[in-house]
Amino acid sequence: MEKILNPNWATLPMSERIENMLLAVVCTFEDEKRNSVEFGGCVYRSRGQFAGCAIGMFVPEENCKIFDLEEDLSIRYVMLRHKHLLPEWMTDMPLEFLTDLQEWHDISYLTRRTSKLETILEAIKRGHYFT
């Protein structure tokens, strides 16, 4: 699975970055090709045909390996400890959106529910992440 390492994302307005990121994640994972490990958790790096996680698919592989060594795999923790290893265009994105996106990716895989995705779409429509 090819990673999305498009440096032009930095030139997009925040609203377009959010919408494009969501679309890329939904399209990539619509076939349930997630990258999980033995304990059932998601990891940032890709393995074979799997794209990694909703955040990791946008991050260089060597940086994903560093994130995967941490006990806490949340984007909140990564932003706190390793923000400098994220693509520059991602570092100023709303943490709430990145967290919601990561949670949707993880939860929908385990529960097959779309409610979190609907919540994200509604928040985008309301401009919630853009304020």
DSSP assigned state of 47: B
Cα angle for residues 98, 129, 45 (degrees, 5° grid): 10
Rounded distance, CA 67 to CA 30, Å?
Answer: 24
Domain boundaries, the chain: 7-130
For residues 18 and 114, the model is more confident at 18
pTM across the whole model: 0.78
Average pLDDT over residues 28-34: 61
Q: 42 in helix, strand or coil? A: strand
Tokens describing residue 89: 């265009």
Tokens describing residue 24: 């890329």
96-131 as b/e, with b when 16 or more CB fall inside 10 Å? ebbebbbbbbbebeeeeeeebbeebeebbeeeebee
Per-residue pLDDT of 7-23, as tens digits, reads 688 888 998 899 888 88
Per-residue pLDDT of 59-110, as tens digits, reads 998 999 999 888 888 899 999 999 999 999 999 999 999 998 888 777 665 5
